[in-house]
Amino acid sequence: MKESSRRLFWVSACLLAVLSCSWQNSENENTLANSTAIDSANETAVAPEGGSGDARSADAERHVADLDKQHDAKKSPFFQTTDRGRLDTFFTKPTADLIWKDSTSSKGEIGAIDFDPLYDAQDVDKKNFAIGKASISGDSATVVATYTNWGEKKRITYLLKMQDGSWKIDDIKYQAGHSLLGLLKETYGNSSSDKPPVQNVSGEFEGTYRVGDTTCTVRPDRQAFEVRWAKGKGSEYFFYKEATIFESEPDKNGGRNEFHFDDDKYDYGTFFRADGKTFPVSRAK
């Protein structure tokens, strides 16, 4: 009996040892599995950092593409005076304010934007339009679009800013060097207010003037006066003629434009165009 008890004891001890090893191996496998799962979860949590940049780029590109589609579908935010929301959808508020002002103040006439602002052309025959990959820098993005207009390759650069979690276009730069925002600021100043873009100087032919239904800015430039019209591009130079009269350089037909002021402070008078038409002139306040 003693020998049988001894054998039973050793068999039981062996069984307990085997079970203990099996349990420990199982625990180790579970620990390893859990560790692998945690590492995998950590990798998954980090991955969206790179994807987020790609998503922001895609959103900026999509924003430009949507504007192009609306423009081509005759639902452009430009040149309309009934739906301010269209502008706010695509542009930053300061830029939208100036575009809206240009549309509403021109009253059916041609404003500062006297060309197609998306394609930088008067006559558009758009082909091969393509939008490049957006370049992101913080809360700013740059998107370059290219197309062919009547066989001429064009490049348009969109500058965007992140506002309230969405991309908005802040400016559109053109291949020739000018920009949408630059043209608008030149005409209406740096804000949507009625403050003249050039400071008026009483007693001098300098400042911002209303001429008929348009406006112009006047700056002294050496022995002449540089006049920039809201509805045109480039500068026209005027020279002192006599008394309170300033005349332009002659055109190709020898005609001249003239400012005739009725007061010595150059606040009001008449503009005589080379073709014989006349328009009232007053200093913008």
CB-based contacts of 224, cutoff 8 Å, min separation 6: 237, 238, 239
The predicted structure's pLDDT at residue 123: 87
Mean pLDDT over residues 134-146, rounded? 96
Return d(Cα 133, Cα 9) in angstroms, integer.
Answer: 78
Average pLDDT over residues 31-57: 48
In 243-279, which positions are buried (b, 16+ CB within 10 angstroms) versus exposed (e)? ebebbbeeeeeeebbbbbbeeeebbebebbeeeeeee
Could you give the maximum distance between any two Cα atoms of the chain, in Å? 143
Over 60: is that where the pLDDT of 49 sits? Answer: no
In a domain? residue 92: yes
- Is residue 258, in this structure, part of any structural domain at all? yes
Backbone angles phi, psi at 266, to 5 degrees: 60, 45
Residue 284 and residue 268 in contact, taking contact as beta carbons nearer than 8 Å: no
How many Cα atoms are found within 13 Å in the side-chain-facing hemisphere of 217? 21
Residue 41 in any domain: the answer is: no
Q: How confident is the model at residue 6 (pLDDT cuts 50, 70, 90)?
A: low
Burial class (CB in 10 A: 0-12, 13-18, 19+), 7: exposed
Q: Are residues 278 and 176 in the same domain?
A: no
Interval 227-236: pLDDT, tens:
988 766 668 9
Query: From CA 143, how far away is CA 67, in angstroms rounded?
Result: 13
pLDDT over 80 at 35, yes or no: no
pLDDT of residue 5: 53
Taking residues 148-160, what's their average pLDDT? 94
20 inside domain: no
Question: How far is Cα 169 from Cα 118, in angstroms, rounded to an integer?
Answer: 12
pLDDT in tens, 171-229: 999 988 889 998 888 777 764 444 445 778 889 999 999 998 888 899 998 889 999 88
Looking at the fold, whether 62 and 162 belong to one and the same domain comes out as: yes
Whether residue 42 lies inside any domain: the answer is: no
CA distance 151 to 149: 5
109 in a structural domain: yes
| Predicted model pTM | 0.53
The number of domains in the chain is: 2
Same domain, yes or no, for 148 and 176? Answer: yes
- Residue-wise pLDDT tens digits, 77-94: 998 889 999 999 999 999
Is residue 170, in this structure, part of any structural domain at all?
yes
Residue 44 included in any domain: no
Shared-domain flag, residues 150 and 214: no
* Contact present, 173 and 157 (Cβ < 8 Å): yes
Q: State mean pLDDT over 249-261.
A: 94
Which is more confidently placed, 135 or 111?
135
pLDDT at 12: 54
Q: Which pLDDT does position 122 carry in this prediction?
A: 83
Average pLDDT (130-150) is 95
The pLDDT of residue 30: 47
* Residue 47 scores a pLDDT above 60: no
Rg of the chain, C-alpha, whole Å: 36
Predicted local confidence at residue 222, as pLDDT: 84
Q: What range defines the domain where residue 255 resides? A: 207-283
Q: CATH code at 99? A: 3.10.450.50
Name the percent of the chain lying above pLDDT 90. Answer: 53
* pLDDT number for residue 197: 57
The contacts of residue 227 (CB under 8 Å, 6+ apart) are 216, 217, 218, 235, 236, 237, 238, 248
Q: What confidence score (pLDDT) does residue 51 get?
A: 41
Say if residue 167 is in the same domain as residue 94. Answer: yes
What is the predicted pLDDT for the residue at 113?
A: 87
Predicted pLDDT of residue 13: 52
Place of tokens 């008929």: 212
Rounded to whole angstroms, the Cα distance separating 178 from 94 reads 18
